[in-house]
Structure 1
Amino acid sequence: MEQWFTIEKIDDETFAISEYGHWEKMHSYLIVGNEKALLIDTGLGIGNIKKEVEKLTNLPIIVLTTHFHWDHIGDHKRFDEIYINELEKDWCLEKFPVPEKIVKNNLEPKNFSKKPPEEFDLEEYKIFKSDKVKYIKDDQIINIGNREIRAMHTPGHSPGHMCFFEEERGYLFTGDLIYSGTLYAFYPTTDPIKFKNSVEKISKIKGIKKILPAHNELKINIDIIDEILKAFEKIESENRLEQGNGIFQFSNFKIHI
């Protein structure tokens, strides 16, 4: 049977765990230290990502959440130590911003380009809820032994959106802030101005060598950060940086406001 997850090695201790069989083309990332390992997001919840992680490491796992949207928290239920931004704690308890019915519509067979795992049961699917998560703050350092990851609050796509930067290796994990495709800032819980400010914030980081996005193409040029910032600045200069102005097409991405 065709495997649901695709494992791609970034280096010997860093892996992308991708779900190309759904239109979201979601990427989660495993960062292995010598004491613990970090899993950035847990994907769609279609396959068992914990099994994939356990093939790569037997260390204790800490889950870091870029933001509390359904396609990033699908398998949170399988892990014990989970961090989210406190601004999204209500979503984690009872006030998830999207009805479960709509989320399930996104997980119907029409959305798959390959067969999901046999154990996936849409009827049993539930959006993750918990009162036992921990909270991560802007500029907090997560140390897993021989590797340190810095959390960066980058709101806009969601109130508590986080990027994560490993300075030593130059890896920037950008979640839904930066990727090749359509960037979304039109939902009620998004904010185009904060989105633009967050792109500007990460554009000032020194030493970025690789962008590791949450969706679509895995290999993208670091120049895309400046390109996206210039695109937002252009929209702002035209006084259109507010919701309801539609989709703006640029070279290798779109911005939906």
Structure 2
Amino acid sequence: MDPATRSDLPVEPRWFRFTAVDERTTLIEEPHVRDLLRANAWHRRGRDRDVLVDCGLGVAALAPLLRERFGRDPVLVITHAHLDRMGSAYEFDEVWAHPLEAVGDPAPGSLRGPVLAAQLGMDWVLPPMLLNARPDRGYDIDGYRVRPAKPTRDLTDGDVVDLGDHTLTVLHLPGHSPGSIALFDARDGTLFSGDVLYDDELLDNLPGSDPGQYARSLRRLRGLPVSRTLPGHGSSFDRPRLHRLIDDYLRHG
């Protein structure tokens, strides 16, 4: 093994950062992951059930921290089966996803940029290492793989995730991937958008992407009464920003 795999990165045992967004919503980040794979996971508290929207890379264990912080295990909803969305999925008993996403047989992934680019068939120039720290001294960068998870419920368009005191509606919005979904709280206009929409360049050229479907999904999204978007990457944004991002893609995409 290359000694740099173990010794060149600093150790950061506090791998996750938790930020309360409101009384029921918590943002979960992995701050020591570099830009391409630095993703948001969202925990939404309900009266009868909690939901976790995506779960990060799986570099460090997430489920025990959620149990300690919130007192119970959430249902995990995977917006799509890319490594930054489902890396920790194997830790959870309840895993819900669209049936077109290969949750049970995911691509292996890598934490080395050139290896990941080759797996994706992309000519991207990525950093040699996609982490800037490691969770413990013995962590093996080259041993990283996305572990399969067993879906316990298929989610399709219009399905409802019932948390007891409020519900989230599943929106099937293909384009970034065949089974990409978002969750929408029609009561307060909150959208958990996954990678369907975020405030940066939208990726429609990955394996399984479809620009035509992406455009149709975004047109549908533009017509919904979304008040705030909690995206899979970057900062949250309001309805006017959502419209500008969609219009820019449709104009130039």
The offset of 1:103, in angstroms, is 2.4
Equivalent of 2:90 in 42, 52, 77: 77
Give the aligned partner of residue 18 of structure 1: 29
Change (3 A) 1:177 1:132: closer
Give the aligned partner of residue 151 of structure 1: 170
Instruction: Write the mapping of 1:166-245 to structure 2, written as runs, cut at 5 A.
Output: 166-206=185-225, 208-216=226-234, 218-235=235-252
Between the aligned partners of 1:19 and 1:135, the Cα distance in structure 2 is 27
Give the aligned partner of residue 68 of structure 1: 81
Q: Which runs of 5+ in 1 are unaligned?
A: 236-240, 242-257
The offset of 1:109, in angstroms, is 7.4
1:86 counterpart SS class: coil
1:11 counterpart SS class: coil
Change (3 A) 1:111 1:130: closer
Q: Is the 8 A contact 2:38 2:233 kept in 1?
A: yes
Instruction: Tell me how many residue pairs correspond in the alignment.
Output: 227
The offset of 1:137, in angstroms, is 1.0
Q: Is the 8 A contact 2:156 2:172 kept in 1?
A: yes
Give the aligned partner of residue 87 of structure 1: 100
2:237 counterpart SS class: coil
RMSD over equivalenced CA pairs, Å: 2.1
Between the aligned partners of 2:198 and 2:150, the Cα distance in structure 1 is 31
Change (3 A) 1:189 1:68: same
Report Cα offsets for 1:19-47 as digits up to 9, x if no partner. 12112221101011111110001111112
Report Cα offsets for 1:51-89 as digits up to 9, x if no partner. 33123312341010100111100100110110110112x
1:93 counterpart SS class: coil
1:223 counterpart SS class: helix
The offset of 1:153, in angstroms, is 0.2
1:3 to 2:21 alignment? no
Q: Is the 8 A contact 2:110 2:144 kept in 1?
A: no
The normalised TM-score by structure 1 is 0.81
1:35 to 2:48 alignment? yes
Give the aligned partner of residue 9 of structure 2: none
Change (3 A) 1:112 1:131: closer
The offset of 1:193, in angstroms, is 1.0
Between the aligned partners of 2:76 and 2:48, the Cα distance in structure 1 is 15
The offset of 1:132, in angstroms, is 4.5
Change (3 A) 1:33 1:120: farther
1:116 to 2:134 alignment? yes
Give the aligned partner of residue 253 of structure 1: none
Of Structure 1 and Structure 2, the greater strand share is in 1
Give the aligned partner of residue 59 of structure 2: 46
The normalised TM-score by structure 2 is 0.82
Q: Is the 8 A contact 1:47 1:116 kept in 2?
A: no
